[in-house]
Amino acid sequence: MTTTGHISPDQIREAFSAAMSAMYRDEVPAYGTLMELVAQVNAEVLEGDPGLRDALSQSDQLNRISQERHGAIRVGTAGELSTIRRLFAVMGMQPVGYYDLTEAGVPVHSTAFRPVDEEALSRNPFRVFTSLLRLDLIDDKTLRAEAGAVLARRQIFTPGCLALIERAEKYGGLDQADADRFVAEALETFRWHSDALVDAGLYQRLHDAHRLIADVVSFKGPHINHLTPRTLDIDAVQARMPAHGITPKAVIEGPPNRRCPILLRQTSFKALQERVIFPGKTATEGSHTARFGEIEARGIALTPKGRALYDQLLTETRRRIQPAADGSNAREYEHVLAEVFTAFPDDWTEIRGQDLGYFRWSPTGKGEVSGDDPEALLAEGVLRCDPIVYEDFLPVSAAGIFQSNLGDEAVQDFAASPNQQRFEADLGQTVLDEFAHYARIEAKSLAACLDRIPA
């Protein structure tokens, strides 16, 4: 509960998400175009599918669709990561999940800061995929030391932001005036800076080692690198992007188009070339590609068993065909993906029966709840059951998104080296296990229904 005078973290997150969106639309005009296209497609889908509209409104999701978005940043040090955690906590965002991207050829590991309560999610689901650079995976010792020194010197938070984080921690929240200031100050951390921190020579060497290292180390802060609206028909948006002057990446990441959507499907458009000023005896001008746009479509959260099947089918697909970045085999890839995924049941009852996905139970209000067999009560129409939306991310898809905006050379061979303990030590907190969290939501919803049984 908030103390009198404090506004809720949800309100701060809502204001921050809106401010971030406005800033990004200003900085990256194609993002604005994409937002309009997504809004148009979402409206068309809802108009043509009253059943979907009804289901979304029943599960309290209709309102959030239009404000749905995630963003991503990449930080350079443990100190930056732990302060970012504190910053997001002011807005009710907790670290959920651990993603090892080395597995997919990118030298970072990550978590997603997001609201976790259902009520907070339906209020505003804004989340930020946050990656920590792993300089330890860079072979060149001299370059590693130089990069480390640059990172150690920079301060990515304004003094006002740090003071307000401390205030929120000390008093358990912020009042309206402080929250307004906090949103403005926090926004500064995510802003694009065209003045580089490093000279052109060092930038080039960092870039040659890995483009991602240049992106993280060379600038004053961890610029937000994309914002992602949620669409109800990702295939339609992907198909219509070119007509709006946007070039999408070759294929949609994740599962194929299905009747029963699972997990997460994502696609992005290419990063912009941005002008950069490098300091030095005489400042030089150059360019950097960092920022892009993305859209996502979300489906049901899978159980560990469902996720294992998903991973297995994706691996099988990619064993048969690797999507080429130039799009030359996109059709073929989609075909193979769809064919391989026929092994994943495409029917809610079957998905539930085989324990592949998580569901939320609720009473329909039609008839008395009696007995404790949820499937029977569902069949009688006394209970209903809706898929729980997957609120998290997928490492292979994330690597594809990194790759689409960093260039193909972004994927190098790193020894897979997940190190969740190290990440959590740097973060200063453990991350929430997403599977356990979805399982709890499901169990709680069912218990609440069955508790209504008269004694």
- Residue with Cβ nearer ligand OOG (72 or 143): 72
- Residue range at the interface with ligand OOG (CB under 6 A); choices 39-47, 147-155, 329-337, 394-402: 394-402
- Residue with Cβ nearer Ni ion (70 or 210): 70
Binding-residue pattern over the window 400 to 439 for ligand OOG, x denoting contact by CB under 6 A? -xx-------------------------------------
129 binding ligand OOG? (CB under 6 A): yes
Q: How far apart are CA 148 and CA 312, in angstroms?
A: 38
- Residue range at the interface with ligand OOG (CB under 6 A); choices 3-11, 16-24, 332-340, 398-406: 398-406
Q: How far apart are CA 157 and CA 42, in angstroms?
A: 36
Give min distance, CB of 354 to Ni ion, in A: 30
> Closest CB to ligand OOG belongs to which residue?
398
Using the 8-state DSSP alphabet, how is residue 284 labeled?
E
Interface pick for ligand OOG out of 124, 131, 218, 445 (rule CB under 6 A): 131
End-to-end CA distance of the chain: give it in Å, rounded. 33
Give min distance, CB of 298 to Ni ion, in A: 12
What is the identity of the amino acid at 210?
H
CB 276 within 8 A of CB 258: no
Q: Between residue 267 and residue 296, which ones bind ligand OOG under the rule CB under 6 A? A: 294
Q: Between residue 321 and residue 360, which ones bind ligand OOG under the rule CB under 6 A? A: none
- Residue range at the interface with ligand OOG (CB under 6 A); choices 3-11, 56-64, 376-384, 395-403: 395-403
397 binding ligand OOG? (CB under 6 A): yes
109 binding ligand OOG? (CB under 6 A): no
- Across-strand partners of 112? 96, 129
**Phi and psi angles of residue 280, each rounded to the nearest 5 degrees, phi first:** 160, -175
Which residues form the interface with Ni ion (CB under 5 A)? 72, 228, 294
Interface pick for ligand OOG out of 224, 398, 410, 432 (rule CB under 6 A): 398
The dihedral formed by the CA atoms of 324, 30, 285 and 159, expressed in degrees to the nearest 10: -110
Question: CA gyration radius for the chain?
Answer: 23
| Residues in contact with 120: Cβ distance below 8 Å, sequence separation at least 6, in sequence order | 9, 10, 13, 92
> Left if phi > 0, otherwise alpha if psi is -120 to 50, otherwise beta: which for 38?
alpha
Give min distance, CB of 131 to ligand OOG, in A: 5
Q: How far apart are CA 351 and CA 418, in angstroms?
A: 30
Give min distance, CB of 26 to Ni ion, in A: 20
Q: How far apart are CA 199 and CA 197, in angstroms?
A: 7
Contacted by 397, from ligand OOG, Ni ion, none: CB < 5 to 8 Å by type: ligand OOG
Contacted by 398, from ligand OOG, Ni ion, none: CB < 5 to 8 Å by type: ligand OOG
Residue 332, H or E segment: helix 330-340
CB 125 within 8 A of CB 115: yes
Contacted by 393, from ligand OOG, Ni ion, none: CB < 5 to 8 Å by type: ligand OOG
17 binding ligand OOG? (CB under 6 A): no
24 binding ligand OOG? (CB under 6 A): no
249 binding ligand OOG? (CB under 6 A): no
Residue 71, H or E segment: strand 69-75
Contacted by 74, from Ni ion, ligand OOG, none: CB < 5 to 8 Å by type: ligand OOG
Place of tokens 């030391």: 145
390 binding ligand OOG? (CB under 6 A): no
- Give the tokens for residue 157: 């938070």
Task: Give CA angle at 270 (400, 197), nearest 5°.
Answer: 95
Using the 8-state DSSP alphabet, how is residue 195 labeled?
B
Give min distance, CB of 203 to Ni ion, in A: 25
- Residue with Cβ nearer ligand OOG (138 or 263): 263
Contacted by 190, from ligand OOG, Ni ion, none: CB < 5 to 8 Å by type: none
Q: How far apart are CA 164 and CA 429, in angstroms?
A: 20
Binding-residue pattern over the window 202 to 231 for ligand OOG, x denoting contact by CB under 6 A? -----------------------x------
Sign, CA torsion 290/296/301/304: negative
CB 286 within 8 A of CB 306: no
- Residue with Cβ nearer Ni ion (106 or 446): 106
Q: How far apart are CA 299 and CA 436, in angstroms?
A: 18
For residue 211, the SS3 value is helix
Contacted by 225, from Ni ion, ligand OOG, none: CB < 5 to 8 Å by type: ligand OOG
Residues that bind ligand OOG (CB under 6 A): 72, 74, 129, 131, 225, 266, 294, 393, 397-398, 401-402
